Amino acid sequence: MDVALEKRQVQRAYELYAPIYDFLFDWIFAPGRAAAIKHLELAPNDSALEVGIGTGLNLPLYPASCRLTGIDLSQEMLDKAIERVQTLAMPDVTLKVMDATAMDFGDNEFDKAVATYTISAVPDPVAVLREMRRVVKPGGIIVVLNHFKSQRRVVGLVEDLVAPVCTRLGWKSNLALQPLLREVGLVPELVARVNLFNGWRLVKCVNKK
């Protein structure tokens, strides 16, 4: 599928999801979100990037001393995140509409970066992770939380079968973890299963350049 076409599909999907996104993703996926931010190991005054910040559900999980930048492809999602920033009175948060495959940031600009439930919802996950590596300092932490293709043969076949439908809904059901990390050049220090039925994986890497 053409990347530009798929990107428009993702944008349309999240415009539709925006009103119900919090209901779907808050309580169901809360344990994974909390674990992801914890594994960033944020120190006072660290600069952090959240890719695909959506409506800002992770915002209350960040320490007050953190300097956070959040990006998302959907203005509708970010409008809700802006409201949340104002409610939480978080002065050191910057929100931007941005394509994660071509970030408008300099090299080595952030200490840490995280993407929760985002990598399978972008047209080019390899490009996104490469950009995360580029903007994170050497030795910085990159955390990815996502559903990845099951290593069990039967489940993996089912995920392949439903992949075309899932893509039209705005996400990939059969994104494989290890080939993705190899292509980007990331080596996981931690891979943990989280959430209901341990169906999602939290991946923590150190950015070794």
pTM reported for the whole predicted model: 0.83
pLDDT tens-digit readout, 54-82: 999 999 999 988 999 999 998 988 999 99
Percent of the chain residues past pLDDT 70, beyond the cut: 75
Closest CA to 201 of 166, 126, 149: 149
Average pLDDT over residues 97-109: 97
Q: What is the largest CA-CA distance in the chain?
A: 48
Percent of the chain residues past pLDDT 90, beyond the cut: 63
Chain mean pLDDT for the chain: 84
At residue 76, φ and ψ (nearest 5 deg) are: -60, -40
Q: Under 8 Å CB-to-CB from 174, ≥6 apart: which residues?
A: 149, 156, 159, 160, 163
pLDDT tens-digit readout, 23-57: 666 677 899 999 999 999 999 999 999 999 999 99
Average pLDDT over residues 174-195: 93
CATH number at residue 143: 3.40.50.150
DSSP at 85? H
Domain range enclosing 37 = 3-206
Distance CA 70, CA 51 (A): 6
| Number of domains the chain contains | 1
